[in-house]
Amino acid sequence: MMKGKALLRGSGISFTIALLLVLAVSSGVVGVVAPPDAQQNRRADIITIDALKSFGRLERPPVMFLHELHADAIEKQNKDCQACHLSVDNQQSLKFKRLKDSTKKAVKDIYHTECISCHRETRAAGQKSGPATCGGCHKEEISVISDWRPIGMDKSLHFRHSKAQDKKCENCHHEYNEQTKQLVYAKGKEGTCRYCHGQKTEENRISMRLASHQACIDCHQKQLAKNKSAGPIKCSGCHDPNEQELIEVVKNVPRMERNQPDVVFVKSHKAEWKSNNPSDDPPDNLVPFNHQAHEQYNDTCRVCHHADLNTCVQCHTGEGVKEGQQIKLEKAMHQIGSDQSCIGCHMINQEKPECLGCHASVAQKQIADNASCRVCHMGPPTADNGSAMVLKPDDKEQAAMLLDSRKPVVSRFTDRDIPDKVVIKTLMGQYGQVEMPHRKIFKTLAGGVKDNKIAEYFHNSEGTLCQGCHHYSPVSKKPAACSSCHGEAFDARNPSKPGLMAAYHLQCMDCHQAMGLEKPVSTDCIACHKKK
């Protein structure tokens, strides 16, 4: 991207009020009802005016304010942001016609006086205007619903901003100095804005919503004032789903320069484990972590470093501490269902359609077997004399050596090892036998995980894919038939094991549905069976 090129494909250089928030904003309009036809009118610029809620219960429904609609109207009158927003210290306030909320009456009077008078003046000038009565703004029903979608600074957007700013990180990154009470730039300590700015304003930190709108839109406006291209300054430019799809994405983003390691051992919670003190009895199996590779897999550092850029053990100790919300290190790494844990993230990848053919039905205890654990928890390498080396948790070279010794499984059984078709003759009655395209099914599953690094490391044998169907059979070129475990009739003494007919249908139909296959469907029996 050349310098000066638009950072986001958005609303160009047209004027807007410089923020999404006029006051406290909620994600939806509370206390009102949306009629069915409102679904057809969706907008990303809806702001809920409910500032008086901070003083107690609202007397009337909140006001649904269309920010972009008003911004366009103000622009036609050759007015700018100052028409609605005051400035202090060259920084525009996000509140309407005020810098702070003093009293309930004062805030209420500001809205009633300023809004109604503007509407009346506009109407007197012969222009289309908004309502001038209470019921015109405070409505029980709304005519539009929010289409607003959050946006984050992924590595593509960060790279484009960094390049446009000539890598002047201090233009965006800062810390609060408690002694000087000033914002300062700390080189080498840059982190995401979200590490300091939370959902709500507190003490010396404004909310993330306020911080992003003040900094981002203000910067975009200043660039436009210099006749330079910049990112959007309208709500829809960032938050409209259709506009987000048009944002330019840099495919090969250069690695961010943050002095991060290439390969490390995952730090243990035992602080006494030092690389120069093997008598402290470090564990036999440490986890070497390819940090550089995971940077490429994810769009932002926050995927793993959700609190700060320190190591996980800083917050997630073996015993659990307040800073880590009492989540112990073991749980932080292995929590199923969490996208911030190693196992959780890996299992989310298993939810891709090409993986669900097996993983939708494979028992969880098979996923977390000892062989899977050893993919990450690697044993110490063997020295030249045949003895096991002592792993040193701080030795990055050892971590890199262990990773290099881990070989992915990329080969599968050959066509000669896999029957082309399997004829299922059992349980024939109303329908005839089934000719299952066995080899085609296997190749489809193998093709779906081709070049998938997680699959290459965790499918630790040529026949791992076979276990998707032959789920309790050892890996073999000739696994046991389904009938070897599933009897023809359901055994009430073993309710967890379905009968043979149910086993076939559950396995096949669940796989088809999970992978999103259009054919055959569960209601189309003759797609598999020939009717007699």
Indicate the range of 16-25, 154-163, 355-364 predicted with least confidence: 16-25
Give the H/E segment covering residue 146. strand 145-146
What is the share, in percent, of the chain residues with pLDDT greater than 90? 47
Give the H/E segment covering residue 46. strand 46-49
Instruction: Give the domain 415-531 fold.
Output: Cytochrome C3 (3.90.10)
Q: What is the DSSP letter of 197?
A: -
Confidence check: pLDDT of 413 > 70:
yes
CB of 80 closer than 8 Å to CB of 15 = yes
Q: In this predicted model, what pLDDT tens digit does every residue of 108-165 receive, in sequence order?
A: 999 999 999 999 999 999 999 999 999 999 998 888 899 999 999 999 999 999 999 9
pLDDT of residue 185: 95
Q: Return d(Cα 487, Cα 495) in angstroms, integer.
A: 12
Nearest-CA neighbor of 85 among 155, 5, 150, 20? 20
CB of 231 closer than 8 Å to CB of 9 = no
pLDDT of residue 8: 42
Counting every residue, how long is the chain?
532
pLDDT of residue 197: 93
pLDDT of residue 90: 75
Most confident of 88-92, 293-297, 389-393, 405-409: 293-297
Q: Which CATH code is given to the segment(s) 1-253?
A: 3.90.10.10
Q: Return d(Cα 362, Cα 470) in angstroms, integer.
A: 9
Q: Return d(Cα 415, Cα 392) in angstroms, integer.
A: 45
pTM of the model: 0.79
Instruction: Taking residues 305-332, report their average pLDDT.
Output: 90
Nearest-CA neighbor of 236 among 147, 143, 142, 144? 147
Indicate the range of 1-5, 43-47, 199-203 predicted with least confidence: 1-5
pLDDT of residue 93: 85
Q: Return d(Cα 26, Cα 39) in angstroms, integer.
A: 19
pLDDT of residue 280: 43
pLDDT of residue 34: 58
**Tokens, residue 387:** 């003895």
- The amino acid that residue 189 corresponds to is K
Please give the full DSSP string across 451-520, using - where no structure is assigned: T-HHHHHHS-STTGGGGGTSTTSPS-SSPPPGGGTS-SS--TT-TTS--HHHHHHHHHHHHHHHTT--SS
User: How many CB atoms are located within 10 Å of the residue 405 CB?
Assistant: 10
Q: Return d(Cα 404, Cα 387) in angstroms, integer.
A: 19
User: How many CB atoms are located within 10 Å of the residue 198 CB?
Assistant: 14
36: pLDDT confidence band, cut at 50, 70 and 90? low
Confidence check: pLDDT of 78 > 80:
yes
Question: Range(s) for CATH 3.90.10.10 in the chain?
Answer: 1-253, 415-531
pLDDT of residue 298: 93
pLDDT of residue 261: 93
Indicate the range of 16-25, 407-416, 428-437, 447-456 predicted with least confidence: 16-25
Cα separation values, 352 from 339, 362, 411, 456, Å? 14, 14, 21, 15
Q: In this predicted model, what pLDDT tens digit does every residue of 212-262 receive, in sequence order?
A: 998 998 899 899 999 998 999 999 999 999 999 999 999 999 999 888 999
Confidence check: pLDDT of 410 > 70:
yes
Confidence check: pLDDT of 442 > 70:
yes
What is the share, in percent, of the chain residues with pLDDT greater than 70? 87
Please give the full DSSP string across 304-367, using - where no structure is assigned: T-SS-SS-GGGTS-SS--GGGTT--HHHHHH-TT-TTSHHHHHHHHTTSHHHHHHHTTS-HHHH
- The amino acid that residue 255 corresponds to is R
Of 461 and 420, the one with more pLDDT? 420
Q: Return d(Cα 532, Cα 523) in angstroms, integer.
A: 17
Contacts for 484 with CB less than 8 Å, ≥ 6 apart: none
Q: Return d(Cα 324, Cα 307) in angstroms, integer.
A: 9
CB of 220 closer than 8 Å to CB of 164 = no
pLDDT of residue 447: 92
Hey, which residues does 264 pair with through a beta bridge?
Answer: 289
pLDDT of residue 527: 84
Average pLDDT, the chain: 84
- The amino acid that residue 272 corresponds to is E
Instruction: Taking residues 384-406, report their average pLDDT.
Output: 86
Confidence check: pLDDT of 23 > 50:
no
